[in-house]
Amino acid sequence: MKNSVGNNIVRHGVGLRIRQLREQRGLSQHQFAKMIGMDRSYLINIEKGKRNVSIDMLTRIAIGLGVWVADLFPPAPESGLVLGDEPRAQLPSSIEFQAVD
């Protein structure tokens, strides 16, 4: 259940951020949906946090808005806490990536 709540919070935050960026550019839902080849009702549900959006769709939205995909996500709380009192997972201070062949 906690995971479901967390997913809903993220979907809602992403939807609000997309709406904010779209409105900053002076685009209506209809104009933006048409511009990126998306059905307006689908965009409405994304902005309301009711749709689980794929990476491909987030990429299309980001390109349409002229931002990075990461810019579609709301900033993390400065307190380092999310979902009540549960601490966020701490990342190691250094992460090593290995090439995949």
Residue 94 lies in a domain: no
Mean pLDDT over 6-20 rounds to: 90
Mean pLDDT over 89-100 rounds to: 46
What Cα–Cα distance (Å) separates residue 91 from each residue in 58, 77, 88, 94, 96? 25, 16, 9, 8, 12
Q: Are 15 and 47 in contact (CB under 8 A)?
A: yes
Looking at per-residue pLDDT, the higher value among 84 and 19 belongs to 19
Residue 100 lies in a domain: no
Residue 97 lies in a domain: no
What Cα–Cα distance (Å) separates residue 11 from each residue in 47, 61, 92, 98? 9, 14, 26, 31
Write out the two tokens for 20. Answer: 């904010």
Q: What was the pLDDT predicted at 84?
A: 46
Q: How many domains does the chain have?
A: 1
Residue 99 lies in a domain: no
Q: How far apart are CA 82 and CA 2, in angstroms?
A: 11
**24 pLDDT more than 80:** yes
pLDDT digits (tens, 9 = 90+) for 37-85: 999 999 999 999 999 999 999 999 999 999 999 999 987 766 554 544 4
Residue written as token pair 């999310």: 82
Q: What was the pLDDT predicted at 19?
A: 96
The whole domain housing 49 covers 2-87
pTM of the prediction?
0.72
Report the CATH number that the domain containing residue 37 is assigned in CATH: 1.10.260.40
Q: Are 88 and 11 in contact (CB under 8 A)?
A: no
Looking at per-residue pLDDT, the higher value among 21 and 76 belongs to 21
